[in-house]
Every structure is written in structure tokens, then in C-alpha cells.
Amino acid sequence: MIPIKNIGVTTLLLHLLFFILTIVTVPCQPLRNKIVRKDRHVDEVSRNMNVKKMSKSNVEDIHPLLLISFDGFRWDYLNKTDTPSFDEIINNGVTATQGLKNAFVTKTFPNHYTLVTGLWEESHGIVANSMYDPVLNQTFEPSNASAVTDPAWFNVGAEPIWVTNQRQNNNGKSGVCMWVGGGAPINGILPTYYIPYDGSQKNETKVDMIVDWFTRENPINLGLLYFDQPDAYGHRYGPDSPQVASMISGLDEVVGYLLKQLKDKNVLDNINLIITSDHGFTNTPHDLLINLDDFIDASTYKITASSPIANIWPHEEGKLEEIYSNLTKGAQESRKFQVYKKEEIPEYFHYTHNRRISPIVAVANDTYSFTSKDQPYPKEELGNHGYDNRLQDMHPFFVAMGPSFKKNFSIETFNNVDLYPLLCHLLNLKPAPNNGSLDIVSQLLVDQTDTPSTLTLTTYVVSFIIIVLVAGVYIITALYYQNIWKNMHHQQYMAVKPNDESPSKSAVTRGTASQGSAAIHQSNTEDSDTSPLLIDHNAVVP
């Protein structure tokens, strides 16, 4: 307890002001800004995007970054066989034990673009592997070499990580090997180095190329590398086949080769390595087919997007209700698929606000597949993806290792839109508007001193108001008790002050010495209960 008479009001106020300023200026408390932005080309898009930045305290903390994707690598594929190279990464780094929660639709092109932009598909505009744009009046196909480098499809407001890297960092150099969107100029910016997709190129050749980019005289600080397996085997043989398990072993050898090359070049200990995928896989038996011809007339519509998704575009606007009604009836009777009007698609899919999404969307249930006379389901396929992204089998794996990551650490899962802000943090870049967050992925990092606060703007303001109110009560209470002490002190002082003209003085003078002493002693005894006045700072303020 502190005697209040030892505390000056000015000193009290200065200490209190310093305390409040300390609270409200605590570093690393960025707020989660809600940003609503509209694309220039995808004019129907509307979204809330959380932009968060974790500051770096030292330039030496920034390390080169390599992002690798193995297409169609399901979250549990590492359990199918021995994977010593992947195990080395996990033991010396981090992993998501249940994989990533990817974006709907769970297809290759959309999710690869989500990984590098942090945007849901409705926001970045790549809404399927095959898609139709009613404004361009064109259909996008992955096999069309000119389409995959056409900015009309990709430059619709989204900013991939290589553009962020080169736009903000004067020394930023990016190498993109076969990644979706890498060949399309975004606001006139292309990667420093780019290699288009080539399915005939050996895996080791691609590894040699990316390692060379990191180790040449003017090295890249960001590399992206894509492999088309085990996706191809998952489609052909099914995800639970021995062929897929064998492929996983082969890819583990590729990772081992990469680690050796990086080690031989003396860069392994200085590079942050992230390996993940776009989607998982499920079995698709041929006896679980849904023939759309049983429900709707093929002459009344066209389909874009491949099974298990059917983006249905009626040829005539007047046919929309008829097609939707017939499909709804078929879905209810068969219980094999779901059908939605565009505006009724569940919010958790984040798959509504884009002109490239069709007026009617049908989604097959797990393991079922759509087929029709005009678009038959391939007989040679025993596995597929594209289903509801809440299904565990649709989730891809995630492992990472490097100086910025913890060792032998795991979390359960996180959204794949969170990867882009993580990449930006690792490169000390300010993220473009995105749907991701660092709240969960920051747990993977070694340095937690710069982790962002989870406070929202509302809770931050409320907390500040509470602090001010408590401080105000403290000041008022302190002043109240100080005033009491002053009054008591004044009364005590007046009781013993020599004054020839005062009645008390005359009374004391006329009395005997013993009477005067008794009077003074009595006065001091009465004051002893109230002076000095003490405040217990642990007590509850009334």
C-alpha cells in the first residue's frame, strides 16, 4: 500500500498517461481490415478480404523461398509407403496432419491459383479447369496454349505471389516452372524466369533448373515448381491403388534428389521449402454414374467444367426454370447429387460472385460422377476430384522446412487461402487484398514475437474504452481520498497551531500544564486513526 500523501496529482496523471500510451501502441497489433474490392474484368465479384502483415525485425531474417506442388497429392498419401525424404522434412520442419482445406471446386487450375493469390475462386476468376466467360464469349481449356498465357483470363484483379515479390522488392526475382498462370502478364509483369508446362520433361531436369535459378550469380529469391503426379495415376488407377503408392515412392526420391542438390550447393540451410498440393482424390466406380440425359434435354443447354461438377448454361433464358426444376426433381429422387441456382449456392463454397460461374451448378455426391451423351465420363478413370471441399478425401497434404519454420512441429489443418499471406510474410512483403489470414499458420514459424494479434477492430476499441474508464475511476478515487487527507491534515494542523487570538489557545493558556498536555494528547490520539491515510491498491474500487 502507498500513502496517498506521497503521490502528487501531476505525477499520477503522467504515470497513467504513459500506461495508456503503452497499451495502445503495443507493436505487432495490426488490425484485420475488411476490404471490399471489385475486379476490373470480373465485375460481379464482391468479397471481404482480410489483409494482415507480420513485420520482420531484421533483413537477415528473410530467406529464399521455394514452393512446390505435387498435383493430386492427397493428405494421407505419405502413409501408403516409406517416404524417407518427406520424413526428413517433417522431422526437421512442420506438417498439417489433416492436410489443407482447399477451395471449391477442388480442381487443379482453380486451387493452384488460390495457393498463390490467397483468394477464393469466385474472387480470382479461375473457377474451373474448363470455364466459359460470357463477356469474352470464349471457353477456357487447359490444353489451349494461348489461353493459359492470356491475361484476359488471369489479370482480373488477383495478384500472384511472383508479382507481389517483383513489384515490392527491387531485388526480387522470381522463377516459375510450369505453375498455373505463370505465363500470363499481370499488369504487365511476368516472372523473371518462366518455363511453360511440358509433360515430357523429366522431374530431375526441373529440379536442376530451379536449383540453378537459386544459385546463379543473380539468384531468384522466390521459386515455384509444379509436378503433374500423382494426379495422373490417381485418375487412371484410383487413389488406393498400388500404382499410386509406387508413384509416391518415386516422388519421395525426387524430393531426396532436390534436398541433395540444395545441400551440395550450400543453400539447403538457408532456404524455406514448402511442399503441398492442390487437391486430394476419391475412388469413382463406374457403376456410380449419373446420366444427365435422364433429367434434362441436351439440346437446351451446354456444360462447362468436368465431372463431378456441371456448370450448366441454358441456351435460352426462358429454359432456366425448366432445366432447374427437372434437375431438382432428379436430385431429390436419386439422392446422388445436389443442384443450385447460382445465387443459391451455399456461402461456404465461396462460389457465387463471378460471371464465369454458370446460372445452374450441379455437384455430384462423393464417388458419383456425371455422364451424358455429349460429355461421357471416361471409362479408363477410376479416381477423381472436384467434389465438395468439406470432404476429407479432397484435402491435399502440406509439409515445410527451413530456418523460419519450427522443427518437428504439426498442426491439424488450415485453409489454403492462408498460404499466400504466409508466403508474403516469409518474403517480408505486404500482401495484396486476399481472403487468407496468418492467425493459424503463424504457429508454424520459429519467431512468435511478431505474431499478429487476433483482436478485431471492435474488440480493440472496446478494450481501449475499458482501460480509459478504469483509469478514470482510479483518478477520481485517488483525488477523492487525497482531498480527504488534506482536510484531515488541515484540521490537525489548526488544532495545534499557536494563535494568541484563537479561543483554543486562550483556553490552553489559562489551564494548567497538565490540562494542556492532555488536550493535545487527546487530539493526536483521535487523529491517529485517520492519518496518514493509506490506500490498498489491491482492494476493489467502490
From 379, 395, 414, the end of a domain falls on 379
Higher-confidence residue of 317 and 343: namely: 343
128 and 176 housed in the same domain: yes
Rounded mean pLDDT, 304-328: 95
Query: Given the C-alpha cell 503426379, which residue does it identify?
Result: 229
225 and 305 housed in the same domain: no
- Assign 527 a pLDDT band (cuts: 50, 70, 90): very low
Active site residue 108: yes
How high is the pLDDT of residue 8? 58
Dist CA 48 CA 210 (whole Å): 35
Query: Given the C-alpha cell 506438417, which residue does it identify?
Result: 95
- Assign 476 a pLDDT band (cuts: 50, 70, 90): confident
Query: Given the C-alpha cell 527491387, which residue does it identify?
Result: 170
How high is the pLDDT of residue 30? 36
**pTM of the entire predicted model:** 0.75
Q: Quick one: cell of 51?
A: 489483409
DSSP 8-state class, residue 157: S
Alpha helices in 358-456 (DSSP H): 419-426
The neighbouring-strand residues paired with 283 are 383
Dist CA 147 CA 126 (whole Å): 12
Residue 59 has pLDDT above 70, yes or no: no
Residue 31 has pLDDT above 50, yes or no: no
Residue 462 lies in a domain: yes
309 and 268 housed in the same domain: no
Residue 201 has pLDDT above 60, yes or no: yes
How high is the pLDDT of residue 12? 53
**Which range of residues forms the domain containing residue 238?**
63-283+387-452
409 and 298 housed in the same domain: no
Catalytic residue among 95, 106, 108, 114: 108
pLDDT per position as a tens digit, 7-30: 555 555 555 555 555 554 444 333
DSSP 8-state class, residue 431: P
Mean pLDDT of the chain: 83
Q: Quick one: cell of 379?
A: 471409362
179 and 218 housed in the same domain: yes
204 and 327 housed in the same domain: no
**β-sheet with 337-341: strand ranges across:** 301-304, 309-314, 360-364, 337-341
Residue 46 lies in a domain: no
Give the lowest-confidence range in 221-230, 267-276, 463-472, 508-517. 508-517
- Assign 491 a pLDDT band (cuts: 50, 70, 90): low
442 and 464 housed in the same domain: no
Residue 538 has pLDDT above 70, yes or no: no
Classify each residue of 120-141 as buried b or exposed e, where b means 16 or more C-beta atoms within 10 Å of its C-beta.
bbbbbbbbbbbbbbeeeeeebe
Residue 325 has pLDDT above 90, yes or no: yes
Dist CA 173 CA 218 (whole Å): 9
260 and 333 housed in the same domain: no
Reduced 3-state DSSP string for 5-60: HHCCHHHHHHHHHHHHHHHHCCCCCCCCEEEEECCCCCCCCCEEEEECCCCCCCHH
Rounded mean pLDDT, 324-341: 98
How high is the pLDDT of residue 44? 37
Classify each residue of 289-299 as buried b or exposed e, where b means 16 or more C-beta atoms within 10 Å of its C-beta.
bbebeebbeee
Closest residue by Cα to residue 104 from 395, 441, 439: 395
**β-sheet with 409-411: strand ranges across:** 193-195, 174-177, 222-227, 65-70, 272-276, 398-401, 93-96, 409-411
409 and 362 housed in the same domain: no
Looking at the chain, the whole-number percentage of residues with pLDDT higher than 70 is 74
- Assign 453 a pLDDT band (cuts: 50, 70, 90): very low
Q: How many domains does the chain have?
A: 3
Give the lowest-confidence range in 152-161, 482-491, 519-528. 519-528
- Assign 475 a pLDDT band (cuts: 50, 70, 90): confident
Query: SS3 for 487?
Result: helix
Residue 508 has pLDDT above 50, yes or no: no
Rounded mean pLDDT, 335-360: 98
- Assign 467 a pLDDT band (cuts: 50, 70, 90): confident
How high is the pLDDT of residue 364? 98
207 and 346 housed in the same domain: no
Dist CA 521 CA 132 (whole Å): 101
Residue 35 lies in a domain: no
From 343, 363, 379, the end of a domain falls on 379
Q: Where are the beta strands (DSSP E) in 159-288?
A: 174-177, 193-195, 222-227, 272-276, 282-283
Residue 542 lies in a domain: no
